Amino acid sequence: MHGKRETQPVVELKDGALMGRIKDAVYLFCGIPYAAPPIGPARFKAAQPVQPWEGIRDATKFGPAAPQIPSGGMTDRVPVRWDEDCLTLNVATPSITADKKAVLVWIHGGAYRSGQGAIPWYNGASFATLGNIVVVTINYRLGALGFTDLSSFAEGYETSGVNGLLDQIKALEWVQHNISAFGGDPERVTIAGESAGAFSVTTLLGAPRAKGLFHRAIPQSGAAHHTLTQTQGLRVAELLMQETQSADVQALIDCPVETLLNAQNTASARYHTEGHSPGVQAFYPVCGNEIIPTTLLEAIETGVGRDIPVLIGTNQDESSLFMLGSPEDSTAETQSKAYGSSDLHKHYARLFPSFSPRDLAVRMATDFSFKLPAVRLAELRAETGSETYVYQFNWRSRIPGLGATHALEIPFVFNMLQAPGVTAFIGPGALPQPLASHMHDIWIRFINGQAPEWPSYQRADRAVMHFDETSHLKHNDYEAVIDLWAGLR
């Protein structure tokens, strides 16, 4: 490695040289290919090795996102530049000297259908400058292109229901082989992500193919339960083929990507109306294959991932983001039945007597989709003696109806409260910088190999750190949720 000149650093990789830039006092290399383009006949196939290049490749601009229809969520409200040739990653490092810094690999969220590594909220500059950490953000295939299980329709597509996860594994393999050129230590890699990124992190925790590629894990707002069965995956594939009027896999390969995206949406809507398991959507990863042989909870029960320290948590009002504008008498009773209980909402009403019907619906949906999966993972890991540090983010947005909503913790974790779009999410008034600094410091300590400032989760006391204006440790406050959902999905 060497510096071409101060504003244009160059690193040498086995595949070729890269020229980056200096931004926010860190070295930034963007749009680095970690696999060959998954285009043409390679669509729906596992990612293949990248082809080496000659000369110095320009790595000063972010690569395109995976094909997607923006969700309108807080982190992707602007038009997204996308392309099927999307398997790239970005590296932010405080220096390109060989001092073996800890590495953070961030996996973006977006329901496995939207998002990208280049979102400003994921700017790794503060981790690099304050924590001496190398930050990697990645793109991976989404939606129908990343998670349509075509294994029942043609040979050679055994991984098609998990290709998006295989992309993530390919990126982690790239980190193992190349991150030392950026000053990173391949033996100190933490994977982290939020929402579908957290689903990915915990799924990789139980995936045999990912063993040894990372050493710590931080799933934010996502844990177990978020995969499809083979039967569900087959149904999703059938619906996609119907919506695209495809008679076989080759027809899907020949289908324009815009047509695929539109069909993905209509197939998803049909899948939802068929009444499949709530909380798991169409085009999620499919288990029962060589990448995800079994469910995460079954893998954890056998001790898989027990040597990986995990920092896991959820936000108090995750589901408020998805229920904005819903009627005040929202669907608590309907939710109860969907979750397998006719009277669950009555128990919640007794637990939270001051809650409106909508508040109850938000809390139930939050517990079902986010909090309960995290608690169940922590409970199982406690049985195997694993290090598991649990938190809950309680800081309430000043935007009416949001509370401590989904994704709100991201700019706190990254210490990026001044990033575009954050103020519109947290609301007017002074920035809550003390809380951001506190959380950011805990994440830095964890990535650098240190335990947080509270004990590992044990069934005897169930210690959970609650982050707020004044953060505090609570014990056993998850017991009511565990008891309420006993025996339910």
Q: Please provide the size of the chain in residues.
A: 489
Residue 406 annotated in active site: yes
Q: What residue has token string 């994921």?
A: 122
Distance of alpha carbon 253 from the chain centroid: 27
Strand order in the sheet with 310-315: 21-23, 26-33, 88-93, 134-138, 101-107, 184-194, 216-220, 310-315, 388-393, 463-467, 472-475
Amino acid type, 88: T
- Using CA atoms, how far apart are residues 158 and 163, in angstroms rounded to an integer? 9
Catalytic option among 406, 409, 466, 471: 406
Residue 195 annotated in active site: yes
Catalytic option among 318, 379, 387, 409: 318
Distance of alpha carbon 331 from the chain centroid: 27
Q: Which residues contact 424 (CB under 8 A, 6 or more apart)?
A: 74, 399
Does residue 380 sit in helix, strand or coil?
helix
Catalytic option among 195, 320, 336, 386: 195
| Residue 380 burial class via C-beta count within 10 angstroms: exposed 0-12, middle 13-18, buried 19 and up | buried
Q: What residue has token string 């650093």?
A: 9
Choose among 214, 230, 220: nearest CA to 149. 230
- CA trace torsion 434, 439, 445, 446 (10° rounding): 180
The pair of structure tokens assigned to 127 is: 């981790």
Q: Are 336 and 375 in contact (CB under 8 A)?
A: no
Q: Which residues contact 264 (CB under 8 A, 6 or more apart)?
A: 69, 113, 143, 144, 240, 282, 283
DSSP, res 67: S
- Using CA atoms, how far apart are residues 288 and 290, in angstroms rounded to an integer? 7
Q: Are 79 and 41 in contact (CB under 8 A)?
A: no
- Please report how many Cα atoms fall inside a 13 Å half-sphere around the Cα of residue 110, on the Cβ side: 27
- Using CA atoms, how far apart are residues 52 and 338, in angstroms rounded to an integer? 51
| Residues designated as active site | 195, 318, 406
